[in-house]
Structure 1
Amino acid sequence: MTQSSVRGEGTRPGVRPAFVGGQEATEGADGSGRSGTGATGDGGHRRGGPRRGRRVLRWSAVTLSLLILGTAGAGYLYYEHLNGNIHKGQRSSGDAKALKSKANAAGQTPLNILLIGSDSRNSDENVKLGGAKYDRGSPPLGDVQMLIHLSADRKSAAMVSIPRDTRVDIPKCTDPKTGKVYPPTNRIINESLARGGAGCTLATWENLTGVYIDHWMTIDFSGVVRMADAIGGVDVCVKQNVWDHPTAAVPGGSGLKLTEGTHKVQGKQALQWLRTRHAWGSDLMRARAQHMYLNSMIRKLKGQNVFTDTGRLMDLAEAATKSLSVSEEIGTVKKLYDLGMQLKSVPTDRITSVTMPNVQDPQNTDHVVPNGASADRLWQMLRDDVPLDDKGKASGSKKTSAKSVATKAPSAPDAQIGVLVQNATRSSTLGPVSGRAGVIAQELVAKGFSRASKDASAGLSEDTTVVRYPSADLEGDAQRVAKSLNIPLSSVKRSTDVSGVTVVVGADWRTGTAYPKQSAPKAGQLPSGTDAINGSDKSQCMDVYAPYRW
């Protein structure tokens, strides 16, 4: 589905321009977000460009919907009607291996919700908003994807975005509506939505991050428009006068025109803010502007009492339930209300917005890939429930630390324990390390595990080393093997994907015969490249790329 790229001119030197499905997004002068290679004579546009317009509002709108439902007690006035508005789907439709987090000492577990902005054209309204009629019925793409992580103690939250053009491993997925099976592939992450629905995107995220995701929520063009004006204006800031307009070097632009300072934007102007790319210098800076908008929106919703107005509240609840599709286990107003209340309880100074650390894809300069160790560190913080801000501590650390994992006696002497070693050192950024399975198998034999052998399977990929076992009677054997290699017991997992004790050598163990000691991340110790913004920071202000100042 990757398309040929047309790299634009006029982008700030050293900063990667934005791309849509492999093409550079060159927004039209009319604000349509059309690709420079996809325009047609009648104003319709080829798939890849037009959907840039309003999809940038989607993740903000979904979060708004959560907050609305979280405060909308009066929505129960027509509870059954609202329930009927909500579209539901299967939680996971892919081959995912992430396990649900263990509870902390207080019995609490983190909550992870995947928000997806869909470019679906399957209605007259969406076609009108999204572009050409001939795209109607085409499989939707998940152009905006964000994980909301609520800590186990519900005192902090993280909002983590992955760029839409990130190349990842998409697992085998089955479309729950048609039964069509999609084989595993290595493509950009926004294509996962078209390969089995939101449940496939969820499975893709789980395999990439190792984070168990409890629920998904999606919103499309029409849903974004329906919710866009519900906020009543959001404060944004620019350091210089900005006008995102066509230039001699770069056609198109969102049309955003503001003077230096802070402004309240809503309606069309809010859309222009969220779509602007050229004036900020890159697509990554557009993500920063979107994070600033969302944080400002959350602060405003927390500070106003619009939900005491029953008439407006009912309108907001109606719009929210019509705008959302959700995984079936949260497909009622009450369950959405409960989720919203949990999100609403987090103070704004404990909300951190970040983007996955990324680098240019060596296979395609139009795309990006996770930035190795930095991305892995971010995923580890989410898995271990370590706050991204420095105001707390890892609420799940006592239960998940290697020292506190209960050990079991092996079922047999070392020489009688069968062990299979797999080489899964390939990652999205690095190729496999040849011979790793054989090296570790030989090390196990030298340590007395004479039945250890290597698996000749190729192309396996795991970010983190793990020891898997199929049944409870082999847990002690798996722990014994892990201990001999210095692999933490927290990385010993039960799995039906293996038939015996299996050491999966991941991308985090590329050299040596002893697993490298991993230091546990601490609260607030974010890796480089996340571009973090705190939810209470009102000082954020966008710097305008020189050609777009006036």
Structure 2
Amino acid sequence: MMRSDAYEKGARPDSAPRRSGPPEEGRPEGRRAPEGGGTGGGRPRGGRARRALRWSATTLAVLILGTAGAGYLYYDHLNDNLVKGERSSGDSKAERSEPNAAGQTPLNILLIGSDSRASDANVELGGGRAHRDNPPLGDVQMLIHLAADRKSAAVVSIPRDTRVDIPRCTDPDTGTAYPATNDIINTSLGRGGPGCTLATWENLTGVYVDHWMTVDFAGVVRMADAVGGVEVCVRQNVWDRPLPGVPGGSGLKLRAGKTEVEGVRALQWLRTRHAWGSDVLRTRAQRMYLTSMIRTLRGQNVFTDTGRLTDLAEAATRSLRVSEEIGSVKKLYDLAMQLRTVPPDRITMTALPTVPDPRNANHLLPAGEDAEQVWALLRDDVPFDTKGGKGAASGSGTSGKPSREERTGDPSAPDGEIAVLVRNATRSAAQGPVAGRAGAVARELAGRGFTRAAPDTSAAGAEERTVVRYPAAGLRGDARRVAESLGIPAGSVRRSDDVTDVTVVVGADWREGGTYPEPEPPKAGDLPDDADALSAAEKGACMDVYAPYRW
């Protein structure tokens, strides 16, 4: 359900404490979040503990930014701060990528910004007191992709109002089951928690997502305060405030030019939408903030300020909720050590290409082939930039590479003995299903010798990519043989518990013809223009302000 923009009032309460010195436009005016969420923990004492904590604090504080970090300290109070949850709580068919020749696989982390008002701190920062008991919305969603060779990274944002298929999810805390639906993606968070949002991304992209991290309003303020000022830029004076007929607004007020923001003002920057003119442009402002923070943290000598480093450690562990596989200081450290290897000029931040939703002028849809082009780069682990030299995948993609099934040489039964069901899943968010598609592909198989092929008349659905599924290891060779006969790549053959026979699921990428139209493998840097790519090394980016919000 869409929520009124009135909840976006994020201005500083009059009673909020201020930093020393008079507030001025163009000057940071952050403050710490009100207490009331998470567990604390005393500051460790003693020289040895402080020295060790310097390393741990840096690692944790920069983890969600994909930047540098070193060392770790397994302090119980930091581990106790972390709140953990189930990795996936929804139906998803995505599988991990096969390792490349060096045994490496990509790493995918979903970062979710929640609009939850479930605490006094979040109500104060986000407004919308009447929405305190509403399910949270995942208004910020970014997929961080670290290449298998750890030499490049990509970040893809999706606007919160993008309509997608959300799978069946079960809330791990309450046991409540939510049926599959088609709705804007930010509602997935309230339909089974972060694990449902993760499953939604997996089904949308075909990419296995290893972990999720969530942060709420108060967590953003804590992190922004601990990190310190981050430079942002606007080309005109901006004031994101209520206007006649347009309620809400973040309260952000800045003069034209560059400004360092922290605390509440950083949250205001991240939440501003009206002043930029659209939700798509809000994702650009968020990516600009993230790239600036990466550069800020890399450029600081953070090892000399013990008090600040302690604040970083406390802020990070109190602000993050993470999937259970990374629910410890050491595991977060291990992730940070992988993320720190990527230089800023090899970190590319993009937005998912979208088009207007014909069903609702306030919503968006993934932009067909342009969106699929972005997902293909991620699935095949191809860099978003061209600085790798060869313009090819780092080695874990499926295009032109033998799958595990091919390498193990699983035998198949004779074609005429393989029972095959064909399921029509050609419906997509932008197009309806192709009538009779399952029957057409079943007849094609029969003509190629698979005489036991038949359409699955009991099932329909939506899949972006065509896949061949099989229920048990003994049928792996049969499934591979069916895929081969239709030209479906071996990487699209997957084991699944929701089929009883070898099943060809004809997706939205195969709407006509008898042979699967395998596209050309994606090339490095081959992003569509509307992906709005931004390098983390880019320093000159500024936001234009929508005219009604200039002052």
* TM-score between the two structures when normalised by the length of structure 1: 0.85
1:439 is displaced (CA, Å) by: 0.6
Match of 2:279 in 1: 283
Q: Contact conserved, 1:91 with 1:327, CA < 8 A, in 2? A: yes
Q: Which whole-Å CA distance do the structure 2 matches of 1:250 and 1:182 have between them? A: 33
Q: Which whole-Å CA distance do the structure 2 matches of 1:286 and 1:399 have between them? A: 31
Match of 2:451 in 1: 450
Q: Contact conserved, 1:129 with 1:222, CA < 8 A, in 2? A: yes
Match of 1:536 in 2: 537
Distance 1:474 1:254, change over 3 A: closer
2:271 maps to a residue whose letter is: R
1:349 correspondence with 2:345: yes
Distance 1:243 1:84, change over 3 A: closer
1:102 correspondence with 2:102: no
Distance 1:320 1:386, change over 3 A: same
Q: Contact conserved, 2:7 with 2:128, CA < 8 A, in 1? A: no
Match of 2:460 in 1: 459
Distance 1:242 1:149, change over 3 A: same
1:516 maps to a residue whose letter is: P
1:324 maps to a residue whose letter is: L
1:137 is displaced (CA, Å) by: 3.7
Match of 2:429 in 1: 428
1:183 correspondence with 2:184: no
Match of 1:223 in 2: 219
Distance 1:403 1:104, change over 3 A: closer
The one-character-per-residue Cα deviations of 1:157-203 (angstroms, maximum 9, x if unpaired) are 11111111111111111111122222211122111111111111111
Q: Contact conserved, 1:276 with 1:286, CA < 8 A, in 2? A: yes
Q: Contact conserved, 2:99 with 2:395, CA < 8 A, in 1? A: no
Match of 2:387 in 1: 391
Match of 1:209 in 2: 205
Q: Contact conserved, 2:221 with 2:266, CA < 8 A, in 1? A: no
Q: Which whole-Å CA distance do the structure 2 matches of 1:193 and 1:115 have between them? A: 12
Match of 1:488 in 2: 489
Match of 1:11 in 2: none
Does the residue aligned with 2:136 lie in a helix, a strand or coil? coil
Q: Which whole-Å CA distance do the structure 2 matches of 1:244 and 1:135 have between them? A: 21
1:382 is displaced (CA, Å) by: 0.7
Q: Contact conserved, 1:69 with 1:320, CA < 8 A, in 2? A: no
The one-character-per-residue Cα deviations of 1:405-440 (angstroms, maximum 9, x if unpaired) are 426465332222211111110111111000000111
Q: Contact conserved, 1:167 with 1:367, CA < 8 A, in 2? A: yes
Q: Contact conserved, 1:354 with 1:533, CA < 8 A, in 2? A: yes
Q: Which whole-Å CA distance do the structure 1 matches of 2:61 and 2:185 have between them? A: 21
Determine which of 289, 296, 317 is the counterpart of 1:293: 289
Does the residue aligned with 1:457 lie in a helix, a strand or coil? strand
Distance 1:70 1:391, change over 3 A: closer
1:83 correspondence with 2:84: no
1:246 is displaced (CA, Å) by: 5.0
The one-character-per-residue Cα deviations of 1:191-237 (angstroms, maximum 9, x if unpaired) are 11111111111111111111101111111122122122222212222
Does the residue aligned with 1:326 lie in a helix, a strand or coil? strand
After the TM superposition, which of the residue ranges 126-135 and 473-482 deviates more from structure 2?
126-135
1:145 correspondence with 2:135: no
1:134 is displaced (CA, Å) by: 4.3
Q: Which whole-Å CA distance do the structure 2 matches of 1:91 and 1:250 have between them? A: 38
2:267 maps to a residue whose letter is: L
Match of 2:161 in 1: 165
Distance 1:473 1:462, change over 3 A: same
Does the residue aligned with 2:89 lie in a helix, a strand or coil? coil
1:136 correspondence with 2:137: no
Q: Contact conserved, 2:291 with 2:537, CA < 8 A, in 1? A: yes
Q: Which whole-Å CA distance do the structure 2 matches of 1:119 and 1:268 have between them? A: 15
Q: Which runs of 5+ in 1 are unaligned?
A: 4-20, 33-52, 55-61
Q: Contact conserved, 1:469 with 1:498, CA < 8 A, in 2? A: yes
1:240 maps to a residue whose letter is: Q
Q: Contact conserved, 1:72 with 1:313, CA < 8 A, in 2? A: no
Q: Which whole-Å CA distance do the structure 2 matches of 1:63 and 1:126 have between them? A: 21
Distance 1:317 1:72, change over 3 A: farther
After the TM superposition, which of the residue ranges 490-499 and 191-200 deviates more from structure 2?
490-499
Distance 1:471 1:64, change over 3 A: same
1:546 correspondence with 2:547: yes
The one-character-per-residue Cα deviations of 1:64-104 (angstroms, maximum 9, x if unpaired) are 4546996364x62x711111111111111111110011111
Q: Which whole-Å CA distance do the structure 2 matches of 1:327 and 1:364 have between them? A: 33
Note the 1:224-263 alignment, pairs <5 A: 224-247=220-243, 250=246, 253-263=249-259
* TM-score between the two structures when normalised by the length of structure 2: 0.85
Match of 2:528 in 1: 527
1:389 is displaced (CA, Å) by: 1.0
Aligned residues: 503
Distance 1:403 1:151, change over 3 A: closer
Does the residue aligned with 2:503 lie in a helix, a strand or coil? strand
Q: Contact conserved, 1:117 with 1:219, CA < 8 A, in 2? A: yes
Q: Which whole-Å CA distance do the structure 2 matches of 1:465 and 1:124 have between them? A: 47
Distance 1:141 1:546, change over 3 A: closer
Q: Contact conserved, 2:9 with 2:251, CA < 8 A, in 1? A: no
Match of 2:376 in 1: 380
Q: Which whole-Å CA distance do the structure 2 matches of 1:153 and 1:109 have between them? A: 8
1:458 is displaced (CA, Å) by: 4.4
1:370 correspondence with 2:371: no
Note the 1:24-63 alignment, pairs <5 A: 24=5
